[in-house]
Structure 1
């Protein structure tokens, strides 16, 4: 009887040790931000994605598209956000487009403020200018605002600091909005 008890205890100890090793390896992989045993990658610290057209009664074709992310490892510094956004405004064949490289992203709840420097555009004088945009993710009724709202053009707006946009006063055209805001959770 004594031999069975020793063998049984040794088996239980071996299983317990194996479980502890597995748990430790999984915990280390998750803590280091690697996919590890679970195959999951850590979630972004914040994100703004999607595209929409703005509503205008005159029929202006105004489109905004975002792919901006703040990686989990940069949670304490929203100026480390990456990605691009693009916007265009055309009416009766006249207008312009621009693409910007993200330099800051801050989100809270369903609201995101993203800024970036225009890297490509057909609007003369726009390249090299920073612009800021605010998005309110409301399901199919998203709203948007932009730093050049009071001047009419990014070229005429003056200098804009990182992560500054205007109130989201514009309405998205029905059926076109699919903005997605991932809330930022800074360590405060």
Structure 2
């Protein structure tokens, strides 16, 4: 009788142990489910982001866009760019299309403005050089080519222009030619964005 009691007690203990282990396993599984789900979702999110970046890259071979004013006390100088190089024209920066505009209000209240048709765009990393032929202006002759350089550094971009050293009243600049970006952009007014050019080397 004593032996039977011991066996019964041992069987009950084993059943209780098994039940506790099963409960712990179930709880552990339930607690781990969110982490497992998150771990499974992370690669998917990364893949989606990577796909989006690749899709954006194949839409155009290079670009310069955005609007901002320069930081020059007493002056109000604004530039707007909408310049693009299509993928099909990747190896021909002179096939770029778009426009750029500028307006300069001087401390004495006088002003000047111009709109140019883009005829060349080349970018490298965060730097873009664009040239365009003046189509409308109250200061420059129509048909003159001018150039602008932009360094895209966030909201503190820099900008330079060919007429810092060459008078557009007298001569054109060559395609995709400008000066170093020596002017600072007022970061409170906007920024410029550069899509880097990726030439194909055969």
Quickly name the TM-score band, shorter chain normalised.
0.7 to 0.9
TM-score (norm 2): 0.68
Structure 1 183/130 Cα, relative in aligned 2: closer, same or farther at 3 Å? same
Question: Which sections of structure 1, spanning at least 5 residues, go unmatched?
Answer: 1-38
- Structure 2 residue runs without a partner (length 5+): 1-54
**Match for 1:161 among 174, 183, 187?**
174
Name the CA distance, whole Å, in 2 between partners of 1:67 and 1:168.
Answer: 18
Q: 1:102 aligned to 2:115?
A: no
SS at match of 1:179: strand
Larger gyration radius, structure 1 or structure 2: 2
- RMSD (Å), alpha carbons: 1.8
3-state DSSP class of the match of 1:148? helix
Structure 2 distance, partners of 1:41, 1:117, is 27
Determine if contact 1:52/1:178 at 8 Å carries over to the other structure. Answer: yes
Per the alignment, do residues 186 and 41 of structure 1 end up closer, same or farther by CA in structure 2, a change over 3 Å counting?
A: closer
**TM-score w.r.t. length of structure 1:** 0.73
Question: Runs ≥4 in structure 1, deviation > 6 angstroms?
Answer: none
- Quote the residue 1:4 is aligned against: none
Structure richer in helix, relative to its length: 2
Q: Does 1:62 align with 2:77?
A: yes
**SS in structure 1 at match of 2:191:** coil
* Contact 1:141-1:177 within 8 A present in 2 as well: no
Supply the distance in 2 between the matched residues of 1:182 and 1:53 (Cα, whole angstroms).
20
